Structure 1
Amino acid sequence: MQLNTLIARQIVERATKIIQFPVNVMDENGQIIGSSDPSRLHRTHEGALLAIHDNRTVEINQTVASTLIGVKEGINLPILYQDQVIGVVGISGLPDDVRSYGELVKMTAELIVEQEALMAQIQWNKRHREELLLQLIQGSTLNENQLISIAQRLDLNLSQPRIAAAVKVIPKHGQPLTLEHLQKLVHLLEYPERDNIVGIVSVSMNEVVVLKPVTLIDGCWNHKEEKARVKRLLKRVAQEADFTIKIAIGQYFPGLAGLARSYETAKATLANSGHSKEAILFYHEHKLSVLVEGLKQDQWRRDQLTEPLDKLRQQDTKGVLIKTLRVFFEQDCDLAQACAALHIHRNTLRYRLDKIEEATDLKINNLDHKVQLYLALKCA
């Protein structure tokens, strides 16, 4: 740990709120890097050099001050961090007047140093956790032993089975998304501690990823238990944050390599959620829609799948038949439920299905043809 001008300035500001005497902070080389008297900055303080060399408090009276460079009357105390001298804090004034304040100012300086060191360690851990997360979800070039070694230094257990979840932040009241929103979400995901590995993958893409531990029983994890956890998270977000979230939870795949596949399923599920009002989405509940969405990226496959609807539209200018087909599938091909949802008679539904078959050359009761029609709607 090294003193810098920012820490030195904090020490001076805090100390001068406690005492009315001038305060200086010197680095490990005895140079003044913080002072209540700006004219003394960047000068070497020989009294501080003595305090550093001998690791002791150095009092300087008028006589001694006249023999040293850059020195005034006062007291100089070494600043320790982990039993090492990293600098000096000095109070200017008659030694008899400032002596009683010395230990108080020294303690203040060392507390500030420890706080800064702790914050630096937290930031280091956070940065390296995010780097590890990226390695895991993007398919690392490092081998498994290297990843495990990195995780151990961060006090993370990679032997624990995990699933990936992708989270989108939705600011309230039309506010713009900010980094602070994402950082707040990361904090909510990390505390209370659940051994989550969390990172902001992209601010511009509004993407926070969490690798969540799960308990496997016969190779399967409990979806209900995970949904209950996510509901508790949503409740905390509602209470503590000025945004809402949408979270997509991927499939479980074994091994470290499986984390990248889990992330892909979570990311695809979130991307496929569109205007859905669901706040919690599980890949296994939207699997077909997610997989079909991938087909849309390939134009010729999409054209082939939607061809039956193109034929149907030519004869269905008012969209009645397409709406009927959509409701029919939404009701799991149950004729009675479809009639109730459409508020039509069973014979009317049968007539419309016949017209759909005629326009598309596909038979509703043929499983292969039925799948083609269903995928056509999904890809439309």
Structure 2
Amino acid sequence: MKLSSRLAQSIVDNTMKQIPYNVNIMDENGYIIASGDKNRTNTLHVGAVEAIKRRKTLPMTDEVGSYGQPGINMPLIFDGKVVGVIGITGKPQTVTPLASLLKMTAELLLEQAEQNKNEVKYENSLNSFLYQWSQVTDDINKNTGLLLEADNLKIDISKPRNVIAIQCPPEVIKQFRIDSADLSLPITANTVLIFTYLPSTIARCIELCKKKEFNIGIGDSTTSIGISVNQALRTLELSKIFINENYIYYKDIKFIDSILNSNIYSDKIISNFRQLEDSDTGKELIETIYQYIKNDGNVVKTSNVLHIHRNSLNHRLLRIHEIFNLDPRKTVDLFKLYLGYIYFTYYSYKS
């Protein structure tokens, strides 16, 4: 650990606000790197050189040269090595207690700086590993490099995990609390992935997102973590497109996703949906199709949701039949309308 001049000068400046003595901090070679007297920086401190050589505190009772004033010099020890010296000008018996306190403070700051450095290094290594791991969609045992990195980071990747994708404000991502057994990876300014095998974490995330109205998607539990990542992000995407708060797990949208991936849409049906979207009356018919499907073709429930009379709903169903040449009251025709609605909604969002 090398004592930086920036940290040293900060210690000097803050200390001299509290005491009426000049403070110097020297590096491991005895050169002054911080001082209350700026003219002394980058000059050799004779007393510090001797303190470093002997590895012990040395009082200076007499003046030595133009700058060698009485005072005390205490070596700074970090990890068993002398990394610098604290010097305070004044009568040794007066300034020694102050120097001892300052030495302890400086060494604690060095320990904290080293700890922060190690934490940043670990976090960077962890994020790099998680990013690479999140791309793996096959057997993790085929990737020797990732297995070794996981071992170094003490991560058991043999456990099946769910990936949770959450969209929320950036300041919330930074404050997001997870269990010590969980792992998190921010992938955009407002999206974070959480890797967990704990049901309690999943329950807590769902509860928080419902309360705060954050978007959430949860992939299946698997050791091929990239699959769960893709599922979680896909759930997040489709729940936004279809505006359904009940689409939380991938299993909730798997059927829709399979339909979209199968490309079995009808251009004519989608064209009809697009024409309806150009007018308020047409938008009412689109909403009618959606609610009629959502309510299992139940006329009473659909009428109640739409706040219209049953006769009005029947009139709308007749109009839908005329426009699409598909009868919503027939199962196969209704399914074709459902397929059209899915593709129309998806591509409208995308475009």
Q: TM-score, normalised by structure 1?
A: 0.75
**Structure 1 vs Structure 2: percent identity of aligned residues?**
27
Is the Cα–Cα contact under 8 Å of residues 11 and 112 in structure 1 kept in the other structure? no
Q: Does 1:286 find its partner at 2:253?
A: yes
The equivalent position to 2:188 in structure 1, one of 202, 215, 222, is 202
**3-state SS, counterpart of residue 88 of structure 1:** strand
The structural deviation recorded for 1:266 is 1.8
Q: How does 1:1-380 map to 2 (within 5 A)?
A: 1-62=1-62, 65-66=64-65, 71-139=68-136, 144-170=143-169, 181=171, 185-190=173-178, 193-203=179-189, 206-214=190-198, 228-231=203-206, 233=208, 244=212, 246-255=214-223, 258-274=224-240, 276=243, 278=245, 281-289=248-256, 303=267, 306-307=270-271, 309=273, 318-319=282-283, 321-342=285-306, 349-350=313-314, 352-364=316-328, 367-380=331-344
CA distance in 2, matches of 1:359, 1:232: 43
The more displaced of 325-334 and 352-361 is 352-361
Report the AA paired with residue 264 of structure 1. N
Cα distance change, pair 154–314 in 1 and its aligned pair in 2 (3 A): closer
Cα distance change, pair 327–361 in 1 and its aligned pair in 2 (3 A): same
CA distance in 2, matches of 1:202, 1:321: 37
Q: TM-score, normalised by structure 2?
A: 0.80
Is the Cα–Cα contact under 8 Å of residues 164 and 219 in structure 2 kept in the other structure? no
The structural deviation recorded for 1:102 is 2.7
In structure 2, runs of 5+ residues without a counterpart are 345-351
Report the AA paired with residue 199 of structure 1. L
Report the AA paired with residue 197 of structure 1. L
Is the Cα–Cα contact under 8 Å of residues 30 and 45 in structure 1 kept in the other structure? yes
**3-state SS, counterpart of residue 20 of structure 2:** coil
The structural deviation recorded for 1:18 is 4.8
Cα distance change, pair 25–289 in 1 and its aligned pair in 2 (3 A): farther
2:348 — aligned with what?
Answer: none
Is the Cα–Cα contact under 8 Å of residues 55 and 82 in structure 2 kept in the other structure? yes
CA distance in 1, matches of 2:323, 2:269: 15
Q: Show CA shifts across 1:123-151 (max 9, x none).
A: 22222222222112234999644323323
Is the Cα–Cα contact under 8 Å of residues 62 and 69 in structure 2 kept in the other structure? yes
Is the Cα–Cα contact under 8 Å of residues 275 and 282 in structure 2 kept in the other structure? no
Give the number of aligned pairs: 341
Report the AA paired with residue 57 of structure 1. T
CA distance in 1, matches of 2:213, 2:22: 51
Is the Cα–Cα contact under 8 Å of residues 163 and 195 in structure 2 kept in the other structure? yes
1:173 — aligned with what?
Answer: none
The structural deviation recorded for 1:30 is 2.3
Is the Cα–Cα contact under 8 Å of residues 30 and 44 in structure 2 kept in the other structure? yes
**3-state SS, counterpart of residue 33 of structure 1:** strand
CA distance in 2, matches of 1:151, 1:265: 23
**3-state SS, counterpart of residue 8 of structure 1:** helix
Is the Cα–Cα contact under 8 Å of residues 129 and 197 in structure 1 kept in the other structure? no
Q: Show CA shifts across 1:84-140 (max 9, x none).
A: 222211112232332233322211111111121222222222222222221122349
CA distance in 2, matches of 1:336, 1:120: 65
The structural deviation recorded for 1:226 is 5.2
CA distance in 1, matches of 2:6, 2:59: 26
Aligned-pair Cα RMSD in Å: 3.7
CA distance in 2, matches of 1:73, 1:186: 50
1:175 — aligned with what?
Answer: none
The structural deviation recorded for 1:270 is 2.2
Is the Cα–Cα contact under 8 Å of residues 307 and 376 in structure 1 kept in the other structure? no
Report the AA paired with residue 8 of structure 2. A
CA distance in 2, matches of 1:169, 1:78: 49
The structural deviation recorded for 1:71 is 4.3
**3-state SS, counterpart of residue 21 of structure 1:** coil
Cα distance change, pair 229–320 in 1 and its aligned pair in 2 (3 A): closer
CA distance in 2, matches of 1:302, 1:138: 34
Cα distance change, pair 232–16 in 1 and its aligned pair in 2 (3 A): farther
CA distance in 1, matches of 2:289, 2:92: 93
**3-state SS, counterpart of residue 184 of structure 2:** strand
Is the Cα–Cα contact under 8 Å of residues 162 and 222 in structure 2 kept in the other structure? no
Q: Show CA shifts across 1:2-41 (max 9, x none).
A: 2112321232244335533211112223222222222212
In structure 1, runs of 5+ residues without a counterpart are 171-178, 215-221, 239-243
CA distance in 1, matches of 2:206, 2:44: 60
Is the Cα–Cα contact under 8 Å of residues 209 and 216 in structure 2 kept in the other structure? no
